[in-house]
Amino acid sequence: MCSQQLYPFFSTLLLGLSLRLSTAIVLPFTEYLDSAQAVSVSWGFDNNGGPITFELTVNTSGWIGFGFSPNGGMAGSDMIIGGIFPNGTQYFTDRHATGNTEPLVDNKQDYTLLSWAGNGNSTTLRFKRELQTCDSDDLPITDSPIFVIFAYGLDDVIKFHESRQGGKSINLLKYTPKLQATLDKYFDFKAENFTVPAKATFYYCMVLKGPSFSEKNHVIRIEPLIQAGNEDVVHHMVLYACPVGFTTVMNGSCYSNTSVPFYKCMTVVAAWAVGGGVINFPSNAGISFGTSEDPVYYRLEMHYNNPTLTSGRVDNSGLRFYHTNVLRQYDIGTLQAGIRVDSFFVIPPGASSFKAYGLCNTSGFASLLPESSLEINVFGNLLHTHLAGRAVRVGHFRGGKQIGFLGENNNYDFNLQDVNYLGDIVPVKVGDEILVECTYNTENRDKLTLTGLGTTNEMCLAFLLYYPRRSISICQSALNEASLLSSLGAPNVTFAFQSLISKIWNKTDIDDFQTLLQQTPQTVSVFNFSLGNNNQVRMLPKLQPKYVTVCREMPYTTPPASNVGHVFQAITSWILLMPLLTFSM
């Protein structure tokens, strides 16, 4: 292939020294994108909606790829490919992927290379782009999480990268810096030589006694311990606190036998799901252990996803909790909001975008909290649906008006779930409302989808991380049964369910049913597992769309046609940049 044909593969071609790093903008945030810490990205942005600048450093002297994906996979990704040749020549291009094939060069080049450096062992590229580029081949960067992906080679011949690829979900515009300190004190909650059943889905629970300390400690970091070779079956892990007086150590199937009281331990302490990484807490807060007010017994819930029905897999996965006796200002709590899993809620088949809502009204906190101050400060979230989920938004309302969001993921993937940090600490006051909206797609289903624990059932949950810790564990809602039955003209739930399951659904029916559910009152339940619960009947507030940054184009100048041919002579083959970034479970 001649150089004229290859020329469009690179949008810029500059010759010069191997060290050309600009210091015009401070990049306050840094993340390692891989567990080996061979790939790091730093970034900073104009808070008024201006361009975002990245500095990518990779431990290689070869080519590097970096970009964004709607769901962690290749299709629909927006990326750059660049590097530095030994003679100081750099190459850099803006591309997009339509599938697991060669990424295509964008007609409009929206990334600007600012500087580059190479020392023979590592390569650093600094570049910028607008948050919104007005280019259909690029993904917008918003204050919702986005999957940041990478790949690299060992030389400048761009070819199949083997295991040198990966990525993670990062909220670039609302980000909490990660803990950098070295920690050596920890305790574990984990499975002990558990044989995973040959079942597609299995929930295994253990009630264990927590660690004993002579003084209060704060957990400031949680690390998933996934047994090597079992990455494809360990889907999520949740640690729950048991109430005072619960002292029974036990293990078994979590929810198949109601005579086993696992359900009594329902206060979420920590959660990890597939696609997630290490959880570091803000510098002023940690999870409390070791005081008389802390739980003594805990329930570890393991969700095993085994669609191939493999037998004989033994697992010792779990969670590691790093702690310190150097106490922080606040204790961390987790509030579970959304739709009650045990409620009557159905999603019609054939729906392209069906929305479900769970409401929390915090005015119910007052009667169940012994604390004098009831305000909480939300700093992060873990959003959760099952296979049909496509988006989750968490709206925040005060005085009947929406004042912001406590979470948003418009590219939700069941297999890529992680804790997302808010850039700002958001105070939630008594009387505020929290509305969790989940969007589902059931176009590939011909039967009703019900709420439930199975992966083919559905959930709509938001685990909100906050401080200071309060005694409230759950604030969720369900459709008010009396109102729903009246609207459906049904004498009881069984009759209503049978009429819905036998219905032949079309788009008009789906839209009408969506409207009916949005207009049905909600029974909001607030739980304190020591003091009880209260219920209120409330109407859903209206969730508004999030503000979108005004689209602005960056200046683009066609690069000169000289000095191109020799660059492309070195690029002799292309197999695939990122064949699999869907983090198979």
Give the per-residue pLDDT at 423: 56
Least confident of 4-8, 112-116, 165-169, 392-396: 4-8
384 catalytically annotated: yes
DSSP state of 451: B
| pLDDT tier, 95 (very low <50, low <70, confident <90, very high otherwise) | very high
Give the per-residue pLDDT at 99: 82
- 167-203 per-residue burial string, b: 16 or more CB within 10 A, e: under 16: bbbbbbbbbbebbeeeeeeebebbbeebebbeeebbb
Furthest CA-CA distance within the chain: 80
Give the per-residue pLDDT at 567: 32
pLDDT digits (tens, 9 = 90+) for 264-310: 898 999 999 888 888 988 888 999 999 998 999 999 999 998 989 99
In 370-483, which ranges are E strands? 376-384, 389-398, 401-409, 420-428, 433-440, 449-450, 461-467, 474-479
Residue 345 has pLDDT above 60, yes or no: yes
pLDDT digits (tens, 9 = 90+) for 226-245: 999 999 999 899 999 998 88
pLDDT digits (tens, 9 = 90+) for 161-201: 667 888 899 989 877 666 666 788 999 999 999 999 999 88
Give the per-residue pLDDT at 8: 31
| pLDDT tier, 367 (very low <50, low <70, confident <90, very high otherwise) | confident
Pairing relationship of beta strands 474-479 and 333-339 according to DSSP bridges: parallel
Task: State which of 16-25, 109-118, 446-455 shows the largest mean pLDDT.
Answer: 109-118
203 catalytically annotated: yes
Give the per-residue pLDDT at 142: 87
Distance of CA 156 to the CA centre of its chain: 33
d(CA 548, CA 226): 38
Give the per-residue pLDDT at 346: 93
Residue 44 has pLDDT above 90, yes or no: no
Alpha-helical runs (H) found in 252-322? none
Long-range contacts of 490-493 (CB under 8 A, 24+ apart): 493/344
Q: Which of 236, 384, 386, 396 is catalytic?
A: 384
Least confident of 37-51, 96-110, 324-338: 37-51
Give the per-residue pLDDT at 25: 59
What is the pLDDT of the chain when averaged over all its residues? Answer: 84
Give the per-residue pLDDT at 177: 61
d(CA 561, CA 406): 49
Give the per-residue pLDDT at 180: 60
pLDDT digits (tens, 9 = 90+) for 303-324: 998 989 999 999 999 999 999 9
Predicted model pTM = 0.69
Give the per-residue pLDDT at 435: 98
Residue 50 has pLDDT above 50, yes or no: yes
Residue 3 has pLDDT above 70, yes or no: no
Residue 561 has pLDDT above 70, yes or no: no
Single-letter amino acid code for the residue at 211: P
Query: Greater confidence, 520 or 565?
Result: 520
Percent of the chain with pLDDT strictly greater than 90? 58
Q: Which of 203, 298, 330, 412 is catalytic?
A: 203
